[in-house]
A and B are shown apart, each in its own frame.
Chain A
C-alpha cells in the first residue's frame, strides 16, 4: 500500500535559518505529492503540490521537488520566520483512490 515517511520533529530553528523537512514515499504508479500546513487550532491548508516527476512546487518561499528516482519530496525554505511555526504534513494521492495518504507530520518551531 501507499505510505509517506517524514522526519521526526519537533524541528527548532532560529529566525532566518534554512529549513529542510525530509519526506519519502512508497506508492504504485505516479502519485501526486503535496505539502499541507496546519497552524495551531486550525485545519489543514495546502502549501504546495507537484503532480509529476521533476515538477517543483512553490509557495510563500517554500519549495519542494518531486524526485521519482529517490521517491522523495523534501520541503525547503531559505529563511524561516516565526510565523512559519506550524505542523507540516507530506501527503500523496494516487490515481486509484484519490484520497490523501499522510505522513505523521513534523512540528516546526521558529524562535526569534
Chain B
C-alpha cells in the first residue's frame, strides 16, 4: 500500500545543532507539506512544495528550510535548533486541490 513515512519518530537534540526530519511518500503526489503541532495552536504550516525544485514558506517558516529534489521526499531542516522548536512535526501530501491530504505519523522533537 502507498504510504507516507517520517523519520525519526522521536529525537532529542541540543540547542544550536542542525537537525533534519525526513518525509517520504509513495503515492507520487506533487504537493507536500510540513506542519508543526503545538498545544493551543493546532497545526501550523511551516513549508510546502508543489513539485520538484519548488518550495514555499508557510506561516511559521523562520529557522526551517526544505528542499525538493525528487517527487517522493521533502526533508525538513532546522538550521540551528532552538528550544522554541520543541514540537511535534507532521508531513503531509496530496495530489490535487480538494482531495484528501494524507499525514505521516509525526516526529516528536525535543530541543534541550
Interface on A for B, CB 8 Å cutoff? 32, 34, 36, 42-46, 49, 51, 89, 93-95, 97-105
Contact status A43-B105, CB under 8 Å: yes
Contacts of B41 in A (CB 8 A): 104
Contact status A93-B42, CB under 8 Å: no
Interface segment out of the listed B13-21, B60-68, B77-85, B95-103: B95-103
Contact status B103-A99, CB under 8 Å: no
Contacts of A100 in B (CB 8 A): 33, 43, 45, 92, 101
Across chains A and B, the number of contacting residue pairs, with CB separation under 8 Å, is 55
Contacts of B90 in A (CB 8 A): 43-44
B27 interface contact, C-beta 8 A: no
Contact of A95 among B44, B58, B97, B103 (CB under 8 A): B97
Contact status B33-A102, CB under 8 Å: no
Residue of B nearest to A95 (CB): B97
How far is B94's CA from A32's CA once the two chains are assembled, in angstroms?
13
Contacts of A46 in B (CB 8 A): 100-102
B75 interface contact, C-beta 8 A: no
Contacts of B105 in A (CB 8 A): 42-43
Residue of A nearest to B108 (CB): A41
Quote the shortest CB–CB distance from B89 to chain A (angstroms).
11
Task: Please name 23 pairs of A and B residues whose Cβ atoms are closer than 8 Å in the assembled complex, sorted by A.
Answer: A32-B97, A42-B105, A43-B103, A43-B105, A44-B90, A44-B103, A51-B98, A89-B42, A89-B43, A93-B98, A94-B97, A98-B48, A98-B94, A99-B31, A99-B45, A100-B33, A100-B43, A102-B43, A102-B44, A103-B42, A104-B40, A104-B41, A104-B42
